[in-house]
Structure 1
Amino acid sequence: MATAYFYFDFNDTQKQDPELMLRSLLCQLVQRSVVIPKGVDALFSSCENGQRKASSHALLQVTKEAAQEFTHVYVVLDALDECAQRSELMDMLETVAEWQLDNLHLLVTSRKERDIETCLESYVGEEDTVCLQRDVVDQDIQRYVQQRLRDKKSLAKWTKDAAIS
């Protein structure tokens, strides 16, 4: 079993690029492999031992091969909406969905953005989607904080704060 994750961050250009996401995920899978997958070795050689960058297509193919080495692979992609090149990212996710690997489990998060929704709805069923509506989440957080303030005596001084109550 392997777990790999990547979160997109609008404040960090290194965390906005879908190709860097793919490289990161592949690297995490290779690090968890018992042996380096043959496809990784072949890709490295074809790129003149790392002197040239591999294409996104080649990286996707090798990532698929690396994922197939595990009984289960769990991939978490956080904040898709903060990716600078969403179209490229959506194309990559569509390719991954087309693999139809039974051992590959994806969890993706994003703010509610129409372009992302449109792309994902073609291969993610409604039963596999959780929409966290802001007002519902805010109410849950408020109830939790109020309960903690009531239950924990050391926090009692904060109950007078209007922003909390």
Structure 2
Amino acid sequence: MSSLIIDKIKDHAPQGSVGVAYIYFNYKDQAQQKTTQVFTSLIKQFCDQLPKLPIEVSDLYDKLNSDKRRPTTMQLFTLLLTVVESFDHAYVIFDALDECDAVLQRKELIPLIRRMSHSGSFKLFISSRVELSLGHRDIFDAFQDGRKITILAHDEDIDLYIEEKINENPRFRNLVEKGHCREVIVSILKTYSQRL
């Protein structure tokens, strides 16, 4: 989904210099999605789109390197705000925010994303599954004042996805074919997925 959104932004962004950065959260990769790494990645992505490195980036690096320290979350957040000033328009996509599973991590990250949204420097796109569990209520509550778009898969897309998953695993594919139960499995899985 991120690549589609990035393409649309680049095709339809207003005139001027446009910076686009994204973070794709993955529940299998929690260690790489700490708040400091999220902001480091955003800074790097924006800097890669500039003709030269902003002096503030090299200044912070030199200062921390000489002290043999790592940047704090707030130093990185402040640096991100400075870096995006080099663009006329800055877009950030936070894809699958619900996959950022560590509640403590979201407790630090979500308020900073909200600050980004209110800073006027960014246009944000945040995707997350609608979760009813209290564990993910923080996402829903934090961004309830934003514009929401509900995206649902078409039946054909769900069928195709299930068929692909069946065909990916030779053992499962053979069991399904021997049991002549492909349609039943697809139907049951599709019904289950629509309840989620």
TM-score grouping bracket, smaller chain normalisation: 0.7 to 0.9
Q: How far is 1:164 from its partner?
A: 5.4
Deviation per CA, 1:74-101: give whole Å up to 9, x if none: 2111111121211111111122123112
Aligned partners of 1:8 and 1:15 also within 8 Å: no
Which of residues 56, 65, 69 in structure 1 aligns to 2:86? 69
- Partner in structure 2 of residue 94 of structure 1: 114
Counterparts in 2 of 1:7-156, with a 5 A limit? 7-49=24-66, 51-83=68-100, 84=102, 85-101=105-121, 104-112=122-130, 113-122=136-145, 124=146, 128-132=147-151, 136-139=152-155, 141-142=157-158
Alignment TM-score, normalising by the size of structure 2: 0.63
Alignment TM-score, normalising by the size of structure 1: 0.74
Aligned length: 142
User: What amino acid does structure 2 have at the position aligned with 1:36?
Assistant: L
User: What amino acid does structure 2 have at the position aligned with 1:89?
Assistant: L
- Runs of at least 5 residues in structure 1 that lack an aligned partner in the other structure: 146-159
Give structure 1 regions of 4+ aligned residues with deviation exceeding 6 angstroms.
none
Q: Percent identity?
A: 26
User: What amino acid does structure 2 have at the position aligned with 1:141?
Assistant: D
RMSD, aligned CA: 2.4
Give 3-state SS (helix, strand or coil) of 2:23's partner: strand
Q: How far is 1:161 from its partner?
A: 4.6
User: What amino acid does structure 1 have at the position aligned with 2:97?
Assistant: L
- Runs of at least 5 residues in structure 2 that lack an aligned partner in the other structure: 1-17, 131-135, 161-180, 188-196
| Higher helix proportion | 2
User: What amino acid does structure 2 have at the position aligned with 1:6?
Assistant: I
